């Protein structure tokens, strides 16, 4: 490992100097507490969802997951965001593929599902059962979770809307996971922040979603770091 050059004068000093240089480079690592070493590891964040996560109608540089990773990186976080969004997906579709999605062994998972369930007027009890199954599988895999809520379209009636909206906070409490009440907060129903279909956010809308969600996502990643420092 250490190169010495006998043919050169004062070679023993060169050899000794190379040792000192290497030891000096290693000391900060060797003396770092376990928590500091854990903090240097890049975390992986899986985003499982529908077209809102997939980035429907947007170039790759403007999708939610791309913008979220960029915002986290700017804030100093070392994280890789994995886009597991599938356009048109319901909670049943998410449940059917969650085991495959978890094969990537993410440190954390952000769940963005339910919009298509609400738009189709699916039975809230079925949506709740599907999301419950997804949360259970993620918890068994040992990943930290952030569940985002969704609202049903107003044309489905107040009773349906209230029952649907109640699914998400109830599940967050049951599983003890982080919760963000409404994924489209500040963006839904605003023509300036949505594409022509008035359903999917445009680039400006995505930026607002990311900005509002960022504190919760950073809290999620802090939970990952805390677990590492505890040796979990």
Task: Give per-residue pLDDT as tens, 114-143.
Answer: 999 999 999 999 999 999 999 999 999 999
Q: How many CA atoms lie within 13 A of 170 on its CB side?
A: 13
At residue 8, does pLDDT exceed 60? no
More confident of the two residues 35 and 99: 99
Over residues 191-220, the pLDDT tens digits come to 999 999 999 999 999 999 999 999 999 999
At residue 47, does pLDDT exceed 80? yes
Mean pLDDT of all residues in the chain?
A: 88
Q: Where are the domains of the chain?
A: 6-40, 41-229
At residue 173, does pLDDT exceed 70? yes
At residue 28, does pLDDT exceed 70? no
Which residues participate in catalysis according to the annotation?
Answer: 51, 197, 200
What fold is seen in the domain 41-229? Rossmann fold (3.40.50)
Over residues 69-111, the pLDDT tens digits come to 999 999 999 999 999 999 999 999 999 999 999 999 999 999 9
Specify the pLDDT at position 41: 85
Residue 185 CA to residue 198 CA, distance in Å, equals 14
């Amino acid at each position: 490992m250490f190169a010495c050059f006998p043919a050169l004068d004062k070679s023993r000093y060169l050899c000794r100097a190379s040792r000192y240089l290497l030891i000096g480079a290693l000391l900060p690592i060797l003396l770092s507490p376990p928590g500091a070493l854990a903090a240097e590891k890049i975390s992986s964040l899986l985003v499982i969802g529908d077209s809102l996560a997939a980035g429907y109608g947007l170039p790759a540089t403007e999708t939610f997951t791309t913008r979220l990773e960029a915002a986290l990186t700017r804030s100093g976080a070392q994280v890789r965001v994995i886009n597991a969004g599938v356009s048109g997906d319901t909670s049943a579709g998410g449940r059917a593929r969650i085991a495959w999605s978890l094969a990537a062994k993410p440190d954390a998972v952000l769940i963005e599902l339910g919009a298509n369930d609400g738009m189709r007027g699916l039975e809230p009890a079925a949506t709740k059962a599907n999301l419950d199954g997804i949360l259970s599988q993620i918890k068994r895999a040992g990943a930290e979770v952030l569940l985002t809520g969704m609202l049903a379209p107003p044309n489905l009636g107040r009773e349906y809307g209230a029952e649907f909206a109640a699914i998400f906070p109830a599940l967050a409490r049951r599983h003890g996971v982080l919760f963000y009440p409404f994924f489209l907060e500040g963006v839904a129903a605003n023509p300036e922040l949505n594409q022509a279909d008035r359903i999917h956010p445009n680039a400006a809308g995505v930026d607002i979603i990311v900005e509002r969600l960022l504190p919760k996502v950073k809290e999620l990643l802090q939970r990952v770091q805390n677990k590492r420092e505890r040796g979990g």
